[in-house]
Amino acid sequence: MKVKMDAFGEATTKFLQWLNEVGLVKISPKVSVEDRRKVNEGRCVVTTDNVQAKEILFEIPRGSILNVATSKLGETYPEIGKVLLEEMGHWEGLVLCLLYEMNALKEKSRWWDYFSILPERGCLQTLIYWPDEELELLRPSLIVDRVGKNDAREMFDRIKGYVTEFSGEFAEEIGGFTWEDFLYVASVIMSYSFDVENAITEDKELVEENQSSNVKNDGYMKSMIPLADTLNSDTKKCNANLTYDIENLKMSATAEIQKGAQVYNIYGDHPNAELLRRYGYVEWDGSKYDFAELPLSLILQKITQYFNVDAELIEALLDIMKERRQFFDLFEGEEVIVSSYDCYRDAQLPLEGVLLIQILCLFLQKSNAKTIKGLEREKELFMIAQKSIELLKSSRVTKKCLKLWEICVEARLSNYPTHAFREVCPDHESYCDIENLRQLMVDRVLQSEVESLQDCLFALDLDFRSVDDSTAFDSIQKRKRVQKKQKMVKKVKKQN
């Protein structure tokens, strides 16, 4: 009996045929494309035999990837092609190329059978598609502030300006340019594109440092890579890697892969929150790179309350550390004062945040902390910063710094709802209900951040030895006496 294949299967079959006949992709007989929709993984690549490390899984000619150099747009309209390479940004250029290939050329596009396996409109789960009320479920994660809807609108307006400028036949061919068109294409690029290094040839000109950033000069092109983007990503299971040479892109195994196992790539060192924002999924057992953010504003609020000082004094101290060159040199160019500090799932502490707390703790315990001003304030703050760095380098912090660290992390944990402290266990039916799936992904993101904060809560106490704050002050005073004595000796020598 002949079983009728569904549209999903038919699209997969045509795509595989395209890879072989049009894309000229060399695919190892040890891999195949499978349907994993039942577990919300869509199409994926699996092994049909044991694979050894460094074995090539497939090889794609550079001419078969889609970017501003290979798209028919630049060839059909050379004047637009010049703008794509020399004026437009990587994102804007690829958006226009995809629009032209999908909306103007359609079945005539070389990549049409590839487009048929990309997600349909309405199926993408990236955060830019979420309504505001659903985004608010992600609070208190700071990822909500980085969804980028305003930035997307600005990019849409820029591209629309180019479309209007080009006008004529091109504008007619793509059938207008709507926000919905842009949102879909930009989301596909966000989820599936790669930054591919340009092929190096003997006659390639060296790019001068003063040349402007554009597709022509930057040494890479944002590209769509058929089949490579079919691999799912997993931060813990990654077992393949994409490499380049002059003519081809090669996906190779980075470890032994058993028969029947899935081949995984990695999209970057992203926590679950960022995976959801960019790609519309989460890792249910947590990302290897999960972290939670400890906002500077919360740290300053707790320090202000703990020492009962005015916020203006704290801000003045921060301004000194940000603006004075001696602090830049002392911190060796590292940014100690940032908007938030990353607390990682593996208890990897944000040492810049700990250093800031240590500096402020010591300064605000000074008896004249509220009255000292001007150059004397700068000198005192600098000596305390020096001592604070010495403490951290020797794996020590003062007891008040340790206490304040725990106060800040506990305050951050209190921002999260109670369900963020429970394990998320989705079942297969959950994947079919978008609202339920989104709620589960929200819960998993929040759980990932809670786990990260919990790991870091007592990490400072475990990894660092605490000392009395008075001991640190005694050390600073001793250094002052030594410096004063050295100055007097120099003065006497100069007089003699």
Give Cα 248 distance to the centre of its chain. 27
CA 221 – CA 94 distance, rounded (Å): 9
How confident is the model over 359-369, as pLDDT tens digits?
A: 999 999 999 99
Give the mean pLDDT of 447-473. Answer: 95
Give the pLDDT band (50/70/90) at residue 496.
Answer: low
Q: Give the separation between CA 34 and CA 37, rounded to whole angstroms.
A: 9
Q: Supply the pLDDT for residue 1.
A: 29
Amino acid at residue number 367: S
Any idea where the domains of the chain sit in the sequence?
Answer: 7-279, 291-414+457-495
What are the tens digits of pLDDT across the range 305-330? 999 999 999 999 999 999 999 999 99
Q: What distance in Å separates the CA atoms of residue 335 and residue 86, rounded to the nearest whole number?
A: 34
Q: Does residue 235 have a pLDDT over 70?
A: yes
> Distance of CA 190 to CAs 116, 123, 156, 289, Å?
18, 14, 14, 19
At residue 493, does pLDDT exceed 90? no
**Cβ proximity of 185 and 160 under 8 Å:** no
Chain mean pLDDT for the chain: 90
Mean predicted confidence (pLDDT) in 176-191? 92
| Sign of torsion over alpha carbons 410, 411, 413, 417 | positive
Average pLDDT rounded to a whole number, residues 272-283: 95
Strands 340-344 and 291-295: antiparallel
In the numeric block, which tokens belong to residue 2?
Answer: 């002949």
Is the pLDDT at 210 greater than 70? The verdict is no
Model confidence at 199: pLDDT above 60: yes
Is the four-CA dihedral 345, 348, 350, 354 of positive or negative sign?
positive
232 backbone dihedrals φ, ψ, rounded to 5°: -75, 160
Report the percent of the chain where pLDDT is more than 70. Answer: 92
pLDDT of residue 494: 62
**Model confidence pLDDT, tens digit, residues 10-68:** 999 999 999 999 999 999 999 999 988 877 778 999 999 999 999 999 999 999 999 99
Confidence tier at 212 by pLDDT (50, 70, 90): low
For 482, counting Cβ atoms within 10 Å of its Cβ (0-12 exposed, 13-18 middle, 19+ buried), the class is exposed
| Mean pLDDT (whole number) for 475-479 | 82
Upstream peptide bond of 426 is cis (omega within 30 degrees of 0): no
Assign domain 7-279 to its CATH architecture.
Alpha-Beta Complex (3.90)
Contact 143/274 with Cβ under 8 angstroms?
yes
Name the percent of the chain in helix, strand, coil, to the closest 5: 55, 15, 35
Distance CA 273, CA 147 (A): 10
Taking CA atoms, 242 is separated from 218, 249, 323, 347, in Å, by 20, 7, 43, 30
Kindly tell me if the per-residue pLDDT of 371 is higher than 80: yes
Angle, CA of 404, 406 and 408, to the nearest 5°: 70
Whether the CB-CB separation of 455 and 463 falls below 8 Å is answered with: no
pLDDT score recorded for residue 482 = 57
Name the percent of the chain lying above pLDDT 90. Answer: 78
Pairing state between β 248-253 and 240-244: antiparallel
